[in-house]
Amino acid sequence: MFRNIFMLLLFQISITATAQQDAWIYLTDKPNVASSLANPITILTQKAIDRKQHHNIAIDERDVPVNETYIADLKTQTGITVMAKSKWFNAVHVRGTEAAISALDVLTYVDSIDFADNSLNSGSREFHVQDKYDNFEQQVVFNYGDTQNQVEMINADNLHVDDFTGEGITIAVMDSGFPNVNTMGAFQRLRDNGDLLDGYDFVTRNADVYANTASSHGTRVLSDMAGYIQDQFVGTAPDASYYLFLTEDVSSENPVEESYWVEAAERADSLGVDMINTSLGYRVFDNSNYDYTPADMNGQVAFISKGASIAVEKGILVVVSAGNAGATTWQTVGAPADSPDVLSVGAVDANGNYVAFSSQGGAAQVGYQKPDVVARGGASYVVDQNNNITQNNGTSFSSPILCGGIASLWQAIPYASPTEVMDYVRQSASQYNAPDDLLGHGIPDLDVAKDIALSLDENLRPEFTMYPNPVADELYIQFPEDDINAELNIYNQLGQRILNTNVTNTFNTVDVSFMAPGLFILELNSEGISKTYKLIKK
């Protein structure tokens, strides 16, 4: 008997010694920080630099990439595999035995090690939390078909009527799979308009984001923003631009997916993305030692939640599904919906009533309300990977429905900061003055949010607008009262200017009948203000 117990203990010790662990390795420094910050175009795209300047967001050391020499050396270390990296945290996600990971501490460039299994850490995960630096002519009429209820519930349709359909807003979608987005009919309009920008599969390290067909969740999520089937289905931001990033590995549940998400958010930031929608959430893992608890959902424990907070600090508006744990013993929101800096979206049904699966606010969110707001997530209409309109339940869909609506709102108030936009959305919601843990601040009215913004800041008022778009023969330009003249340029997709003229309040009609059908860029310059628009010629 004693021998059997002894052998069992030896077996358990052997398993423990060889079991694969996940950990974040925090590095000491970065290369060429001063020169990179002095020449930000070497580390960021011009669109990213412009977005940061637009919102007065500082470019700092966190924008500088991780030292690739350190990563190359880590890859040579025995017993570990490099899984992901994060410039914001100056960290690398590794997998290996506890002993092999712990041995990395002797490397001169390793600052600290944080195991996903918190019992292996001498301190708290919170050690690495970073401090905070602290009415127009009607132009567009859609027949929404099946999506009418979910669009009208948040009053995004009134924004669409005023030609605010997400044009000029770039959204990164972090999800688990986007099969057929590059071919199916529901995204034909998106592709034709040049708004399906790029993608990447961070799980398999594959530039072909459509090749991974293990899940169609991302395709369905995207449809609620960008989908368009004439007279049958219209997303809430059909004219926004989209990057697609696959960060969720559906074959397992592991903290490395949080690291993939942060990597994708960093890439989104460097590309100048305005918004992130993520219909993902993390609570428990295949290895129960990695599990979070409801008490951890305070925005300061989960790696992904801390990363989402940095994304907001960098000037990105992050919209997150609250989670589907409302009817479980867990009950509260998951990560990254627990971050106080993101807009977490719960779910209601077609009648605006709370649905039992929608995750609720909890005791861990001290001083802030979760969810922030709600939208339709009960029997939401989506387009599946086979181009069929169907219905799905989940906050996975209330999040993109609202995210797209907010993109259309932000187009109408382009000078608002991300945090201001989120605040206007909360203020417009149905129970803003009496929020609760089920509906948060309630159902937003995005047209009211626009009016709130315009009433507070005249700088948010649009300078001019154009209609109709798509256009056949004559294009009309509408001016604010104080503008009297503007230079108008139209460029083709090769960047060649094909029209240059002046327009005024009196002479505001432009003949475009000579133009061939296709996509063009229209530029308006007036008294130091320059605006560009995508123009579609029928």
Give catalytic residue positions: 175, 217, 396
Say what the pLDDT of residue 360 is: 98
Question: Which residue type does 135 have?
Answer: N
Question: Element (H or E) spanning 332, and its range?
Answer: none
Say what the pLDDT of residue 459 is: 55
What's the pTM value of the predicted model, to 2 decimals?
0.78
Using DSSP bridges, classify how beta strands 317-321 and 80-86 pair: parallel, antiparallel or unpaired. unpaired
Say what the pLDDT of residue 482 is: 57
Please list, residue by residue across 352-374, b when 16 or more beta carbons sit within 10 angstroms of its beta carbon and e when fewer do: bebbebbbbbbebbeeebbbbbb
For 271-313, the three-class secondary structure string (H helix, E strand, C coil) is: CCCCEEEECCCECCCCCHHHCCCHHHCCCCCCHHHHHHHHHHH
- Alpha carbon of 251 to those of 18, 161, 222, 265: distances in Å? 22, 43, 21, 22
Alpha carbon 269 to chain centroid distance?
10
Say what the pLDDT of residue 134 is: 31
Q: Tell me how far apart the alpha carbons of residues 481 and 111 are, in angstroms, rounded to a whole number.
A: 59
Q: What are phi and psi of 318, to 5 degrees?
A: -105, 120
Q: Say how many CA atoms lie within 13 Å of 468 toward its Cβ.
A: 11
Q: Tell me how far apart the alpha carbons of residues 165 and 156 are, in angstroms, rounded to a whole number.
A: 9
Beta bridge partners of 105: none
Q: Tell me how far apart the alpha carbons of residues 343 and 82 are, in angstroms, rounded to a whole number.
A: 31
C-beta atoms surrounding 72 within 10 Å: 10
Q: Identify whether the C-beta of residue 82 lies closer than 8 Å to the C-beta of residue 23.
A: no
What domains lie within the chain, and their CATH numbers? Answer: 2-30+65-128 (3.30.70.80), 148-455 (3.40.50.200), 465-537 (2.60.40.1930)
**Any residues with CB less than 8 A from the CB of 227 and at least 6 apart, and which?**
186, 187, 233, 234, 235, 238, 382, 383
Q: Give pLDDT tens digits along the chain (538 positions).
A: 434 444 444 444 444 456 899 999 999 999 999 999 999 999 999 999 988 888 888 899 999 999 999 999 999 999 999 999 999 999 999 999 999 999 999 999 999 999 999 999 975 444 333 333 233 333 457 999 999 999 999 999 999 988 899 999 999 999 999 999 999 999 999 999 999 999 999 999 999 999 999 999 999 999 999 999 999 999 999 999 999 999 999 999 999 999 999 999 999 999 999 999 999 999 999 999 999 999 999 999 999 999 999 999 999 999 999 999 999 999 999 999 999 999 999 999 999 999 999 999 999 999 999 999 999 999 999 999 999 999 999 999 999 999 999 999 999 998 889 999 999 999 999 999 999 999 999 999 999 999 998 887 655 555 667 778 778 889 988 776 555 688 899 988 777 889 999 998 888 899 999 999 888 888 888 776 667 777 888 8
Beta bridge partners of 488: 501, 524
Closest CA to 256 of 15, 12, 20: 20
**Any residues with CB less than 8 A from the CB of 535 and at least 6 apart, and which?**
466, 469, 471, 475, 490, 512, 519, 520, 521, 522
3-state secondary structure of 174: strand
